[in-house]
Amino acid sequence: MSIILNMKNLCPCSSGKSYNECCEPLHDGESANNALLLMRSRFSAYVLDLPKYIIQTTHPASPQYIDNHQLWEKRIYDFSKNSSFGKLEVLEFIELDTYAKVIFVAHLTQHDKDATFTEKSHFEKIQGTWFYKYGQLMEGREPNLITTGQIRPLPISYYGDEILRKKAEPISEITPSILKLVEEMEETMDASNGIGLAAPQVHHSIRLFIIREPVYDDQGNMEFGKVKAFINPKLSNPSSETWTAAEGCLSIPTIHADVTRPKEIDVEYLDLQGNTIKKRFSGWEARELMHENDHLNGVLFIDRMSDDDKTKLKSLLDNLRKRIHDGTEL
């Protein structure tokens, strides 16, 4: 929805200030001093049809990043065009040195129907500049999303980082710092909407990973349940029967490819209490385990995709590496 603004117009971000004293300088290229200002200026950019601003301020490794900027701009434009924006309500704002979280309610209607949503959005600072990383959305006004926890997500290692290619070291003792790392890994995984995360993906070259356990409802629909940690896992005895499904990885955001893996596998590991567990896993849980265990051996899911997919995805991967490590698209 376009609005013609003049000096007296209030900023669409509900700050109560005029646009030229609020979000306009940011839209004109000034960088945001904090993540809350960035969040507000992104909201007003949606209201004012400024898709380029949304793209510029999205983290280069965001799972919401779209390589095709034309398509991305069109999606933002369509969203803005079909929405009639009301007020922006900020419920919570936590900012640490390079990570920030903002929970807000965007009041809007689409096609005369209420389309208000609550978003828990995560921001990361790269070389002094805040970027929007990822948002978890819920319909309506959901104050329950407010968290008081101060556990912070950890910086993720991305495709091209050497640690992802190293063989990780066994853990000799489950210390309090290992337990804290597991909590931080859980926060990191959730902040990027992941279902599994291995320690090398957060710059710790040790044999530890977590997964969200798949659970099935009465209708057989899969959801993701509680988090399980695996320490010093040893995989053996894979079934000869295999199956193929699409995988993704928080270290290789936006890339998805089919991977063929055994249907079942035995795993022996230590849980967080130091108990030795031996169990045969199958289906999605086995797939998650094998994907994460590969990370402990310096193997990535893209190594296991078909030669066809390797050829098809090569330019996307090269571009991703460039975007994340050289910032050439920023």
The residues that are catalytic are 292
Query: Whole-number minimum distance, CB 274 to Zn ion, in Å?
Result: 26
Does 249 interact with Zn ion (rule: CB under 5 A)? yes
Other C-beta atoms closer than 10 Å to the C-beta of 139 total: 10
Task: Give how far Cα 190 sits from Cα of 164, 252, 284, Å.
Answer: 20, 16, 18
- Which stretch, 13-21, 50-58, 128-136, 256-264, contacts Zn ion (CB under 5 A)? 13-21
Q: Distance between CA atoms of 57 and 329, rounded to whole angstroms?
A: 12
Asked whether 252 and 65 are in contact (CB, 8 A), the reply is no
Site string for Zn ion, 41-60 (x = CB under 5 A): ---x----------------
Matching residue, tokens 């385990």: 289
Q: Does residue 13 touch Zn ion according to CB under 5 A?
A: yes
Q: Please, how many CA atoms are within 13 Å of residue 22, restricted to the half-sphere of its CB?
A: 24
- Report if residue 106 touches Zn ion, rule: CB under 5 A: no
Piece of the chain touching Zn ion by CB under 5 A; list 37-45, 96-104, 210-218, 238-246: 37-45
Q: Where are the alpha helices (DSSP H) in the chain?
A: 24-27, 35-47, 51-56, 69-81, 176-191, 283-296, 307-325
Q: Which stretch binds Zn ion (CB under 5 A): 5-13, 209-217, 238-246, 320-328?
A: 5-13
- Comparison of 88 and 270: residue with beta carbon closer to Zn ion: 88
For the CB of residue 196, give the shortest distance to Zn ion in the complex, in Å.
7
Member of 22, 156, 259, 320 binding Zn ion (CB under 5 A) = 22
Residue pair 221/187 in contact by the 8 Å Cβ criterion: no
Which residues make up the interface to Zn ion (CB under 5 A)? 11, 13, 15, 22-23, 40, 44, 249
